[in-house]
């Protein structure tokens, strides 16, 4: 199964998980970057405001077409109880090209359920696997990552 991981990471926490999954599944990966920067405390506030308002932003050109993959895994941090604005923008543009979906998110402690549901709703796909990692779980994510990958591999 040809797999692509698409992720956005403001603080490299989501990136850490995306790269661990990529290594285990030996698949392609695409980092989404935004024209608008969400750095620092001001970026954190702007990001939460944009996400909560369902805004889209300009994302930099992607290099991998999701239509060419059997499975696309979406990874995002939770911003204001939803996905990060750059991932929402990606899904608004490319979500209809995703054949099969899996998704994961990283968060402080809450908002993950709404985030994972919104990813599914935005793409119109029922995910074959989902995973969330809270700040505390990020210290030892291996078990949750293994369970997530097993769901993907055993579908």
- pLDDT tens digit string along 35-63? 888 988 888 898 898 999 999 999 999 99
Burial of 51-85, coded b for 16+ CB within 10 Å and e otherwise, reads beeeeebebeebeeebeebebbbbbbbbbbbbbbb
**How many C-beta atoms lie closer than 10 Å to residue 126's C-beta?**
8
Alpha helices in 8-71 (DSSP H): 13-25, 40-52
Pick the CATH number of 3-153 from 1.10.10.10, 3.40.50.720, 3.40.50.360, 3.60.21.10: 3.40.50.360
**N-to-C CA span, the chain:** 11
Percent of the chain with pLDDT over 70: 100
Q: Where are the domains of the chain?
A: 3-153
Q: Which pLDDT belongs to residue 84?
A: 97
Q: How confident is the model at residue 137 (pLDDT cuts 50, 70, 90)?
A: very high
- pLDDT tens digit string along 6-26? 999 999 999 999 999 999 999
């Amino acid at each position: 199964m040809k797999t692509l991981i698409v992720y956005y990471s403001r603080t490299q926490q989501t990136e850490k998980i995306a790269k661990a999954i990529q290594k285990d599944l030996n698949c392609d990966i695409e980092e989404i970057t935004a024209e608008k920067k969400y750095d620092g405390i001001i970026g954190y506030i702007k990001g939460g405001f944009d996400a909560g308002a369902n805004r889209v932003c300009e994302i930099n050109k992607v290099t991998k077409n999701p239509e060419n993959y059997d499975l696309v895994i979406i990874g995002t941090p939770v911003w204001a109880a939803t996905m990060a604005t750059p991932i929402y923008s990606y899904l608004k543009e490319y979500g209809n090209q995703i054949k099969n979906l899996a998704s994961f998110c990283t968060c402080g402690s809450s908002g993950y359920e709404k985030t994972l549901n919104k990813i599914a709703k935005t793409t119109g796909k029922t995910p074959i696997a989902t995973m969330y990692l809270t700040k505390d779980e990020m210290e030892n994510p291996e078990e949750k990552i293994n369970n997530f990958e097993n769901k993907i591999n055993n579908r």
